Amino acid sequence: MAKKIWSVLNHIMGALFLLLFLGYFGTSVAALIMNSDQLEWWGLLLNILVLIFEMVGPFYVIYFMVQLIDGIIQADKVEYQLEKMKDYPKVAVMIPVRNAHPKILKDTLEGFVKQTYPNYEIWVGDDNSDEKYASVYKKLAKELNVNYFYGDERSFKAGILNKVIDQVDAKYIAIFDVDQIPKPKILDKFVAILEQNPQYAFVQAKFDFREVKNLLHTWEMISYYQLACAQSGKMRINNVLFHGCNACFRKEYSYPLPEGKLSEDYDHTINLLKEGHYGCWLEEIGVTTLATDTFDHKISQMYRWTTGQIGAVIDHWRDFLKSKLKLNQKIDLFISSTLTLVLSSLYLVGVIYAIIYGLKVPIFRALYLNDVAMLIVPLLIFGVYCIMITATSIYSIKNSTYKLNFLQILLYLLFSSFVAPILFIPTVRGLLRKNKITPGKTQWNKKVRLYLVSTILSLFGLVYCALSVVSILDTLGVVNWYPEENYFYSMFILVAFMLTFSLPFTFFAKRRYKKTEYSQDENVYI
């Protein structure tokens, strides 16, 4: 009961923050209407556009803050009891693979062979690997007495899983990535949850990392814990997402996975939810997994996820209107898949502010704040953001098997700030529905021209550095350009910081984080 009360208080706090920003938006619109005679039509349009983009960030951050705090509270944690297990229905464990290092597959298979669940079978789904790998996989499968299925043509993760699932007669389908070593009794827990909670179509567990050796690993780990915390919070509205692995389905809800998409897992979640079927989150570690070794591979993954998830929502927007989804589930899916829009809105605000400053357009805001809003509103957003990061930090420190400290959290924030602008491109690609897989053309881990992208971003950053200097000098009276009070430098400095260091950061990250024997280009399939 206490957890429920804390959850209610959390939502009340979120509602108050939201009302504060909505009040700012409403009174700002009123201020613009009252002073419209002082603006040309294009000046009024610029003010309205920048006001709308100013509101995108706070809305997303407040929503995510409430969800993360719900994740820490865990008021809707799933219940199960292993000792009440009587029947042990068959489970088919699916492990898709393509050109992965044989040692990775061997470690994973050995982990599953040791599972205590009395009624399961293991299937290795080989997505048309090169012969030098396929022959080793086949031999390894025979040695460990597991099933091996070879796909005669490349069909990507969803395709090979569909082919293998079609071969089995199990009640439950458990899906794992090739680098995930299972924890003891994870299959027992999956089955217990689904047997004792018939309302769920699937159960998704969290994972932990085998080793965290550097800042790249720390960044990936904390980023995942933020996602895991959000998943726990999603239990409140029955909107847990399937993340492609470390999950167990009732067979009738596992098949078919959507093929031809960059994010088959996210599309599958939407398909289930719109039909009224939902999953649950197991707040326990199901597997230990490998962290990404190189910056290139991590960015490639993020490109695929960002493009795929935003594209999935665009693909399904008509379905949302006629589906069984509740309004809060629709909002949650949209926000979960378009988090990078928060960053995009920041840059759009920066662009419009630069135009407003250059054209000397007056700004009218709530309660006559006008230009002062450029200081107050970012401070309010910063306050909410700090609460969100604090929630992420608490969850990470509480759940990590690696000891985290304040410096690592700070470096995580810096790392995220420098990576964020790079994700603007896949955000646009997702909005343009470039999330489809084209046979013979699509690269699962697309090589991103990071030096080119970061060079362009840094050049834009230098432009904003110059604008920051001019704006500050204007404020000090050294330059006489903008006729009103001038606080544009607050936004210009923020945009300049996030963009200017893009190239130096990319240069450092690409040189610092080298490929290991497991992360050569041909081996990366996770």
How does pLDDT run across 177-236, given as a tens digit for each residue?
A: 999 999 999 999 999 999 999 999 999 999 999 888 888 888 898 889 989 999 999 999
Contact 88, 118 (CB under 8 A): yes
Residue 461: inside a domain, yes or no? no
How many Cβ atoms from other residues are within 10 Å of residue 233's Cβ?
Answer: 29
Sheet with strand 120-126: strands edge to edge: 147-150, 120-126, 91-97, 172-175, 247-250, 200-209, 278-289, 181-182
Angstrom distance (rounded) from CA 446 to CA 101? 19
How many Cβ atoms from other residues are within 10 Å of residue 508's Cβ?
Answer: 14
**Cα Rg of the chain (Å, integer):** 25
What pLDDT, on the 0 to 100 scale, is given for residue 118? Answer: 95
Identity (one letter) of the amino acid at 405?
Answer: N
> Does residue 526 have a pLDDT over 50?
no
Range of lowest pLDDT (24-28, 159-163, 245-249) = 24-28
Domain count, the chain: 1
> Does residue 171 have a pLDDT over 90?
yes
What's the pLDDT band for 374 if we cut at 50, 70, 90? Answer: low
Residue 525: inside a domain, yes or no? no
Angstrom distance (rounded) from CA 148 to CA 124? 5
Angstrom distance (rounded) from CA 321 to CA 312? 15
Question: Tell me: the pLDDT tens digits for 93-116?
Answer: 999 999 999 999 999 999 999 999
What residues pair up with 124 in beta bridges, in sequence order?
95, 148
Angstrom distance (rounded) from CA 105 to CA 101? 7
349 φ/ψ angles, rounded to the nearest 5 degrees: -60, -45
Angstrom distance (rounded) from CA 55 to CA 351? 15
Angstrom distance (rounded) from CA 29 to CA 376? 17
What number of helices (H) and strands (E) belong to the chain?
19, 8
Identity (one letter) of the amino acid at 414?
Answer: L
Structural domain that includes position 220 = 82-301
Choose between 229 and 373: higher pLDDT: 229
Residue 459: inside a domain, yes or no? no
Choose between 442 and 120: higher pLDDT: 120
Choose between 54 and 463: higher pLDDT: 463
Angstrom distance (rounded) from CA 452 to CA 299? 14
Q: Which residues contact 339 (CB under 8 A, 6 or more apart)?
A: 60, 64
Residue 418: inside a domain, yes or no? no
Q: Which residues contact 441 (CB under 8 A, 6 or more apart)?
A: none
> Does residue 372 have a pLDDT over 70?
no
CA 140 centroid distance within chain: 34
Contact 67, 482 (CB under 8 A): no
What pLDDT, on the 0 to 100 scale, is given for residue 103? Answer: 93
Query: The tokens 């080298």 sit on which residue?
Result: 514
CA dist 522 to 59, 103, 132, 254, 294, Å? Answer: 41, 15, 12, 28, 14
What pLDDT, on the 0 to 100 scale, is given for residue 12? Answer: 95
Angstrom distance (rounded) from CA 155 to CA 157? 7
Residue 365: inside a domain, yes or no? no
What pLDDT, on the 0 to 100 scale, is given for residue 83? Answer: 92
Q: Is 116 exposed, middle or buried (0-12, 13-18, 19+ CB in 10 A)?
A: exposed
Name which of 120, 107, 280, 250 is nearest 185 in CA terms: 120
What pLDDT, on the 0 to 100 scale, is given for residue 1? Answer: 67
What pLDDT, on the 0 to 100 scale, is given for residue 512? Answer: 86
Identity (one letter) of the amino acid at 318?
Answer: R
Question: Tell me: the pLDDT tens digits for 317-336?
Answer: 887 777 778 889 988 988 88
Contact 479, 470 (CB under 8 A): yes
What pLDDT, on the 0 to 100 scale, is given for residue 122? Answer: 97
Residue 135: inside a domain, yes or no? yes
Percent of the chain with pLDDT over 90: 54
Question: Tell me: the pLDDT tens digits for 398-422?
Answer: 777 787 777 888 888 888 888 888 9
Percent of the chain with pLDDT over 70: 94
Residue 218: inside a domain, yes or no? yes
DSSP-derived 3-state class of residue 248: strand
What pLDDT, on the 0 to 100 scale, is given for residue 396? Answer: 79
Residue 279: inside a domain, yes or no? yes
Identity (one letter) of the amino acid at 524?
Answer: V
Element (H, E) at 70: helix 41-73
Question: Tell me: the pLDDT tens digits for 477-520?
Answer: 898 999 887 888 888 998 999 899 999 999 999 988 877 666 66
CATH number of the domain enclosing 271: 3.90.550.10
Question: Tell me: the pLDDT tens digits for 434-466?
Answer: 999 877 777 777 889 999 999 999 999 999 999
Q: What is the DSSP string of 257-285?
A: PPPSBTTHHHHHHHHHHHTT-EEEEEEEE
Range of lowest pLDDT (93-97, 170-174, 392-396) = 392-396
DSSP-derived 3-state class of residue 123: strand
Choose between 245 and 378: higher pLDDT: 245
Q: What is the DSSP string of 178-208?
A: TT-EEPTTHHHHHHHHHHH-TTEEEEEEEEE
Mean pLDDT of the chain, nearest integer:
89
